[in-house]
Each structure stands twice: as C-alpha cells, then as structure tokens.
Structure 1
Amino acid sequence: MTIASDTTAPAFAAEWQTWHDAHEADRASAHGFLAITAQHWLTAEPTRFGGLPGRWSTGEEGVVVLLDEGETLLVDGAEVTGRIVFGPIPERGGRTAAFGDTVIEIAKRGGHDLLRPRHPGHPTRAGYRGTPAYAPAESWVIEGRFVPYDAPVEVTVGSVAEGLQHVYAAPGEVEFRHEGDVHRLIAFNGYAPGSLLVLFTDATSGVTTYPANRSLSVGAPDAEGRVILDFTRAVNLPCAYTEFATCPLPPAGNRLPFPVEAGERLPHERTAR
C-alpha cells in the first residue's frame, strides 16, 4: 500500500512493511472487528436478538443466556445447552461463544455489557481493500521522555458511541520535541507489561486521517524514562471501519497542533463515503 520515501533507509522501510502487512492480516482475520455484524446492549430483561441462539440478559450473575430446546453454543471448546452463566465481564474484557461460522463477542464497555456477533462473510470484511498509509519516514521516529505522575490518575474520555464514557488509569505523560517545540500527551497503560498507549489527533485528523482518533503503542520506558514514539506505526481504531464500535476518544489535551503525516490514513471505505 505504500512506497518508501527517498530519505528512508531500505531496511527501515522493509521492516515497517512487514509490520504493516501483519497488522493488516490481523485486522482482516475471519472473526476480527471487520466481521462484526451488529452491536446489542444487554439489560436485565432476557432478550432474543435476530440470528443469535438464546435469550440474553445481564444482572447480578453477570451475563446469562437461556437456550431453548434444540439450541446449542460452543463455549471454551465444549458444546453447551440450557442456561449458561458467563459471569461478570471485566471492563474492556470479554468472552466468546460460537455457533456455526459465527463467533459472539461478550464484552463490557463503558460499564455496560454487550454482544457483538462476528461472521467472516460480513460485507465490511469481505469488501475490505486494505488501509492506505503514509510512506514510512524515519524522521517520524522520535525520542521522547515518560513523565510519570506521583500516582496513576483516572482519566475519563468520551466514546464514538453516543452517551458512553471510558475511564482509564493514566500512569503519566509522554513528552517529546517536534520542530523546536515541546509537546506532551497523556498516556494510558499498554497491552504489554510496562508499555504505554497514546490516543491522539493532529492537524491531519478529518483531512487525510480518521477524525476521531488514532492510536500509538509505545514500548516500556528505559531506566532513564526514555521512550520511542514511532508515528509511522500510528493506527486506526475499529471505529474507523465499523459503526459497531465503542472506541474511546483521546483525552482533551491530546491534540497535536501540527500534521502527523505518518501512519495509517483514512480507510478507503471512509473516503468513498
């Protein structure tokens, strides 16, 4: 999808392309978020959702499904029937159940339990053409410094889902210099131990990149607090592709005043609209 710029070392461009290809393959996997067909919010009232087995609810026991006679689900590799208690789902956690070619994601987002069925034949996945990206330029790999808070700070951010909010524990901020100016971004805990996650917008947002957010994974700081911000690996969140998403918005201060012409751009599906 991209061609290395003249100022980028071939080895850097090749490493980036390998990473980008793997990221695209994961995104387009059979039951990835491109395969989500619907988003159902659960209540205390047992409810049947079109095309899904059982009547689903949430309450003191957590998420529960009551399957009618002849209905089955595959849970943790075993076929189950009757009443299945999935228990309380942790925030941003989830479980899965399957039937046929469909996988049902059972998740909690913004304090609310939901179901998201995923089918590999869903048009969003079947028609996916890949995501355009800026050419990988080494000038966008910037050394920064992690500035920890005295104690983690709870940060509440909005969501692309109307009325939903997310709360994250922020361990500190990432500070870096760009064209002589110092900038700071609030960082959340990343997926790997010690790593960080930064949600941001910039002057390209809504122009050549998705307007709501982009995400940047940052490796764990070294002993002196140094970190590397590789903006060539800034990626879109699921909400750039599907309406069935609850992606968080960046903290209010995480808008960079300059264009970050690096990383993933608007998906083809968005530009077509």
Structure 2
Amino acid sequence: MTTEATTTDLQEFTENWLEWYRAQEARIADPHGFLAITNLHWLDERPRRFPDAPGAWRTGPDGVVVDLDDGEELVVGEAPVRGEHRFGVLAERGGVEAVWGDAVIEVAKRGGHDIVRPRHPDAPLRTAFTGTPAYAPDPRWAVTGRYVPFDEPRPTTVGAAVEGLEHVYDAPGRIEFDLLGRRLSLTAFPGHGAGRLMVLFTDATSGVTTYAANRVLTVGPPAADGTLVLDFNRAANLPCAYTDLATCPLPPAENRLPVAIEAGLRIPRERGGS
C-alpha cells in the first residue's frame, strides 16, 4: 500500500514537472521570444538606422524617439504610428513592444541604458532550436526552507551577462535551508506576482553540466510562519544561457552555493550542452 502511494506521488510529481518544463520551452521558443532576437542596439543621442528595424532611433533626457521614413510604420499598442514617435522615458527593466510586420521591436531600458532589440520569428537561433537538456525530476531536490525578511529591503547591485552593465534589486530577505547535509542560504529578489520571490544562483555544477553564469528559481509566497518550498528541479535558464543578446543579471556573491545541485535545466545545446 505504501509503495503504491509512493509510486502515485512520484508520478504526479513528474507530471507536474513536465508541465512546468513544457511551459519553459514554449516561452523560449515563442516566435517573439529571446531566441528570435537578431541584435542588441544601444541607443544614444545620435539618430541611427538598423538593418533589422525601421526608422532612425535615438535617446536623450526625454526618452526614446524613432523617426520613420515615408512608407515605414510601427504599431504601438493597437495604434499605427508614422513619422516621429516618442516612446518617452522608460522604467528600468521596463519596455514597450512595437510591431513591424511579423517582427516585434522591443524598446527597453536595461542597466540605465535605452536599447532596441528586434525579434524576428525566422531568426536562425530560434528556427534551429530543438529543446533544452534537463535533469530527470527527483523529489529529493524539493526542500523546505524558511524565509527570513530583512528589517528593510537591501539595495543589491549585481553584474550582468553584458560586460560593464549592472542591475540593482531591492532584496527583501533571504531563504535558509538544508541540502546535502549543509546549512545554506540564498538572498532573494522580488519575483513576478504578489509575495513571490526570485533566486539567482550558481552551484558546483555551473560551467560543468549547467550554465556557468546563473540559473533562476522562482519561489511562491512564504507561509505565515515563513516556510516555503525550494524545488530545484525547476531551476531554469535565463535568456543569456541561449544568446549573447540578453542582459541577464548575475547572482550576488553570497548565492554561489558550494554544493552540486544536479537538478533543473542543463547547459543549452546552443552553448554546447548535450
């Protein structure tokens, strides 16, 4: 009876993981996802044209501006725009998507710099994508931890996949947990959704079987007593694991774990993974 229950639990655990994995793969393979990016253009006050986007682009104190030639058009929101269009001052880690034919032109701010990143569905990196290698899911990598909030959020500066760029996050607290006989902790950043947390980390597999620079783990809101589950089977790759055209943040120094977490997504084939 116990064995049957355990088998059923493991099957459900595996099916839930597969659902998560398929959603990850769908996002990365999206026609306008990160594999579709054809270039990363850094804007300044000089108007410049790019081969993979319409118009002449510049930025300044009043934000990003594009000047479209006769016959050129973007759709911003649901409105067609022609001539000069002002995107205004963008929020850090924010951005706007403008549609150009079957492409999307991402206009964004990263590390204090305004950028344009065209995304074309026929980009070779996307059309050649065959999926991401991953470790088989194993319940032993899902551990209960405890969230310890800081007295007040701590501004934390981290590096980026692009040299010379920095990201700043307000870290609300840390997560303490036991794994492989070690007491460990991770500084957490705000996640997407109320109360959710995001953890950037590396471990002893980084650069060996998993992507060297970082992996990311999304954690649900802590319970009233601070407990939460860290399921490292769902350790995901950030876009920089696949393309040099991403500006992903790196983990803070204290999030470099001294153990080998053989769980989650592995080095993408685009980086030589198997």
TM-score normalised by length of structure 1: 0.95
Alignment of 1:186-197 (within 5 A): 186-197=187-198
Alignment of 1:204-223 (within 5 A): 204-223=205-224
The residue aligned with 1:3 is none
- Per-residue deviation, 1:262: 0.5
Change (3 A) 1:56 1:79: same
- Counterpart of 1:126 in structure 2: which amino acid? T
- Per-residue deviation, 1:7: 11
Given that 2:160 and 2:249 are in contact with CA atoms closer than 8 Å, whether structure 1 keeps it comes out as: yes
Question: Which whole-Å CA distance do the structure 2 matches of 1:157 and 1:36 have between them?
Answer: 24
The residue aligned with 1:74 is 75
TM-score normalised by length of structure 2: 0.95
Question: Which whole-Å CA distance do the structure 2 matches of 1:122 and 1:154 have between them?
Answer: 37
Question: Which whole-Å CA distance do the structure 2 matches of 1:251 and 1:210 have between them?
Answer: 16
The residue aligned with 2:268 is 267
- Counterpart of 1:224 in structure 2: which amino acid? D
More moved, 133-142 vs 17-26: 17-26
The residue aligned with 2:246 is 245
- Per-residue deviation, 1:51: 3.1
The residue aligned with 1:258 is 259
The list of structure 1 runs, each at least 4 consecutive aligned residues, that deviate by more than 4 angstroms after superposition, is none
Alignment of 1:1-273 (within 5 A): 9-271=10-272
Question: Which whole-Å CA distance do the structure 2 matches of 1:127 and 1:7 have between them?
Answer: 37
Tell me, which stretches of 5 or more residues in structure 1 are unaligned? Answer: 1-5
- Counterpart of 1:170 in structure 2: which amino acid? A
Question: Which whole-Å CA distance do the structure 2 matches of 1:234 and 1:190 have between them?
Answer: 14
Question: Which whole-Å CA distance do the structure 2 matches of 1:239 and 1:80 have between them?
Answer: 32
Tell me, which stretches of 5 or more residues in structure 2 are unaligned? Answer: 1-6
RMSD of aligned alpha carbons: 1.4
- Per-residue deviation, 1:160: 1.0
- Counterpart of 1:220 in structure 2: which amino acid? P
- Per-residue deviation, 1:233: 0.3
- Counterpart of 1:187 in structure 2: which amino acid? A
Question: Which whole-Å CA distance do the structure 2 matches of 1:8 and 1:129 have between them?
Answer: 30
Count, aligned residues: 268
Given that 1:8 and 1:137 are in contact with CA atoms closer than 8 Å, whether structure 2 keeps it comes out as: no
Q: Helix, strand or coil: the match of 2:48?
A: coil
* Paired-residue identity, %: 57
Could you give the per-residue CA deviations for residues 3-51 of structure 1, whole angstroms, max 9, x where no partner exists? xxx9971111111111111221121011011100000000011111123
Q: Helix, strand or coil: the match of 1:59?
A: coil
- Per-residue deviation, 1:161: 0.2
Q: Helix, strand or coil: the match of 2:96?
A: strand
- Per-residue deviation, 1:272: 6.0
Given that 1:8 and 1:136 are in contact with CA atoms closer than 8 Å, whether structure 2 keeps it comes out as: no
Given that 1:195 and 1:220 are in contact with CA atoms closer than 8 Å, whether structure 2 keeps it comes out as: yes
Given that 1:157 and 1:249 are in contact with CA atoms closer than 8 Å, whether structure 2 keeps it comes out as: yes
